Amino acid sequence: MHFLDQAKIFIRAGAGGPGAVSFRREKYVEYGGPDGGNGGKGGDIIFEAIAGLNTLIDFRYTQHFKAPRGTGGSGKDRTGAQGPDLVIRVPVGTQVISDEDRETVLADLTEAGQRVVLLEGGMGGRGNASYKTSTNRAPRQHQPGLPAEEMWVWLRLKLLADTGLVGLPNAGKSTFINKITNTKAKVGAYAFTTLRPQLGVVSHRDREFVLADIPGLIAGAAEGAGVGDRFLGHIERCRVLIHLIDANGVDPVEAMEVVEEELAAYGEGLDEKPRLIALNKIDLIDKELVEAFSKELIAAGAAEVFPISGATGAGIDALLDGVISYLPSATVTERPAGEREESDDTPWSPI
DSSP state of 168: S
Instruction: Check the annotation: does 36 bind a ligand.
Output: no
Instruction: Check the annotation: does 75 bind a ligand.
Output: no
Count of other CB atoms within 10 angstroms of residue 129: 24
Instruction: Check the annotation: does 284 bind a ligand.
Output: no
Instruction: Check the annotation: does 128 bind a ligand.
Output: no
Count of other CB atoms within 10 angstroms of residue 349: 8
Burial class (CB in 10 A: 0-12, 13-18, 19+), 306: buried
Say how far apart CA 274 and CA 272 lie, in whole Å.
Answer: 7
Instruction: Check the annotation: does 274 bind a ligand.
Output: no
Instruction: Check the annotation: does 12 bind a ligand.
Output: no
Instruction: Check the annotation: does 68 bind a ligand.
Output: no
Instruction: Check the annotation: does 199 bind a ligand.
Output: no
Instruction: Check the annotation: does 168 bind a ligand.
Output: yes
Instruction: Check the annotation: does 280 bind a ligand.
Output: yes
Candidates 267, 300, 293, 289; CA nearest to 278 is 293
Amino acid (one-letter) located at 259: V
Instruction: Check the annotation: does 134 bind a ligand.
Output: no
Angle between helices 173-180 and 316-324 (to 10 degrees): 80
Instruction: Check the annotation: does 311 bind a ligand.
Output: yes
Say how far apart CA 124 and CA 293 lie, in whole Å.
Answer: 71
Instruction: Check the annotation: does 94 bind a ligand.
Output: no
DSSP string, 302-316: -S-EEE--TTT-TTH
Instruction: Check the annotation: does 282 bind a ligand.
Output: yes
314-318 long-range Cβ contacts below 8 angstroms, 24+ apart:
314/282, 314/283, 315/282, 316/176, 316/179, 316/180, 317/204, 318/348, 318/349, 318/350
Instruction: Check the annotation: does 170 bind a ligand.
Output: yes
Instruction: Check the annotation: does 245 bind a ligand.
Output: no
Instruction: Check the annotation: does 196 bind a ligand.
Output: yes
Instruction: Check the annotation: does 173 bind a ligand.
Output: yes
Instruction: Check the annotation: does 322 bind a ligand.
Output: no
The gap between the terminal CA atoms of the chain, to the nearest Å, is 41
Give the neighbor-by-neighbor strand order of the sheet with 207-213: 198-204, 207-213, 163-167, 240-246, 275-280, 305-307
Instruction: Check the annotation: does 132 bind a ligand.
Output: no
Instruction: Check the annotation: does 324 bind a ligand.
Output: no
Instruction: Check the annotation: does 310 bind a ligand.
Output: yes
Q: Would you list which residues are annotated within the binding site for Mg(2+)?
A: 174, 194
> Which amino acids are annotated as binding site, given as ranges?
167-174, 192-196, 213-216, 280-283, 309-311
Return binding residues for GTP: 167-174, 192-196, 213-216, 280-283, 309-311
